[in-house]
Structure 1
Amino acid sequence: MVGLPGPQNLMCTGRLGEVILESSQIANTLVAQVLNNRLLRFGSSSTKNADNPKTEAHLNELIERYKNLDIHLHVPEGAISKDGPSAGVTMTLCLLSLVLQKPVPQNVAMTGEITLTGKVLPIGGLKEKLLGAHLTGRISKVLVPRLNRKDIIEDYIYNLHDREVAKELLNVMILDEEKLLQCARRGNVHDAPEEWIKEKLGIDVVYVDDFTDVLDAVWDGEVYIAGKEPSLLRERSRL
């Protein structure tokens, strides 16, 4: 993704299908909404809140920068058709990274559909996506939609040798997961399935519910959404 001086525009290339193009537009609209509504905060909320003149000036600068960015998003291997909503979270973060001029750590990968309200929705093919991240040899953290945890549980269970134990454990873990999802503070859980992924692929799975979780997982509280202070997000992740 490259941003050049010019009227605000987003061009996408790489033989992309209709769904992935729609995802890029959703990502662009979400970033515009976050910027224009002045929802971004930086660092400690006690020293850089919305009333801080430096924060206000910085937000104005970011809005102007965004309005004057002609963005070109290219997905490599242009001869191969690509489609689906799975890149929504990635495109949203890349757009914001471009505006902020703040790089995303190279050891982090992510997947998930994004909505106009910033919710992260589940995707298909998670097993293959995690394997692909592992095969790059440089990814140590993958952000996964919270609602995809059941896929990791099932993959973990199906790799157990004792089929009777596996069947019983699957019922228990899926039931526990359904109960956990009903809690307001369902958190970023880490249990046997996540530990198994870590041992098997060398990847830390981080679950995200919305774009605020994505920012916290990638930039560790350096950038966050107003009303979603990093300390609150980390407290939730420990549950």
Structure 2
Amino acid sequence: MLSSVSNIPIKQNIAVTGSINQFGEVQPIGGVNEKIEGFFKICRGMGGVQEKGVLIPYSNRNDLILNEEVEAAIKEGKFHIYTMKTMKDAVNILMKDYNEVLDSAKQELSKYEDKV
């Protein structure tokens, strides 16, 4: 929704997994290794993992036990793991600077002020 309102696209090379509570805090999820390895496998089958990655909850960072192929791609800088604690972190990684996105959304919404 924020992408649509701000007219700022979401990066399409990063998969996202997580759960968000009503306060915008990202909560841990299950199966983080399987999700990362699954996305890696799909990327590999669709032409390569270069510049691809996965955004996961920060609280899952210590749960990572990835296979050797994924670890090698990460070490080589081809595949990336990003972490987030809040929605603000996700916006910064997936779109642009959070404040820039909010400013753009406010500007777009202001076009409709007189119509409400």
**What TM-score does the superposition give when structure 2 sets the normalisation length?**
0.66
Of the three residues 32, 49, 63, the one matched with 1:126 is 32
Give the whole-Å Cα distance in 2 for the aligned partners of 1:142 and 1:148.
12
8 Å Cα contact 1:134/1:202 also seen in 2: no
Q: What residue in structure 1 maps to residue 62 of structure 2? A: 150
The CA distance in 2 between the partners of 1:125 and 1:224, in whole Å, is 32
The one-letter code matched in structure 2 to 1:214 is A
**Counterpart for residue 82 of structure 2:** 206
Considering Cα pairs closer than 8 Å and 6+ residues apart, tell me whether 1 or 2 has the greater RCO: 2
C-alpha distance in structure 2 between counterparts of 1:212 and 1:136, whole Å = 28
Match of 1:98 in 2: 4
Q: Which runs of 5+ in 1 are unaligned?
A: 1-94, 161-193, 226-239
Q: Is the 8 A contact 1:120 1:211 kept in 2?
A: yes
Following the alignment from structure 1 to structure 2, what is the Cα–Cα distance between the partners of residues 151 and 200?
Answer: 21
Residues in 1 aligned to 2:6 and 2:84: alpha-carbon distance in whole angstroms: 21
1:216 partnered with 2:92: yes
- In the alignment, the residues of structure 2 paired with residue 136 and residue 224 of structure 1 have an alpha-carbon distance, to the nearest angstrom, of 33
Change (3 A) 1:224 1:196: farther
Give the whole-Å Cα distance in 2 for the aligned partners of 1:103 and 1:112.
20
Per-residue CA deviations over 1:180-226 (Å, capped at 9, x if unaligned) read xxxxxxxxxxxxxx96561489421111000010111112314259x
Does the 8 Å contact 1:142/1:206 carry over to 2? yes
Change in CA separation of 1:200 and 1:130 when aligned onto 2, cut-off 3 Å: farther
- Distance in 1 between residues matched to 2:62 and 2:15, nearest whole Å: 20
Q: Distance in 2 between matches of 1:213 and 1:117?
A: 14
Task: Tell me the C-alpha RMSD between the 2 structures.
Answer: 3.0
Name the aligned partner's letter for residue 123 of structure 1: I
SS for the counterpart of 2:56 is strand
> What SS class does the counterpart of residue 62 from structure 2 fall into?
helix
Counting only pairs closer than 5 Å after superposition, residues 141-180 of structure 1 correspond to structure 2 as 141-152=53-64, 155=65
Aligned ranges 1:49-88 → 2 under 5 Å: none
The structural deviation recorded for 1:97 is: 1.8
Report which of the two structures shows the higher radius of gyration computed on alpha carbons. 1
- Cα separation, 1, equivalents of 2:15 and 2:77: 14
TM-score normalised by the chain length of structure 1:
0.34
State the Cα distance separating 1:100 from its structure 2 match: 2.6
Which residue identity does 1:101 align to in structure 2? N
Partner of 1:112: 18
| Structure 1 stretches of 4+ moved >3 Å | 194-197, 199-202
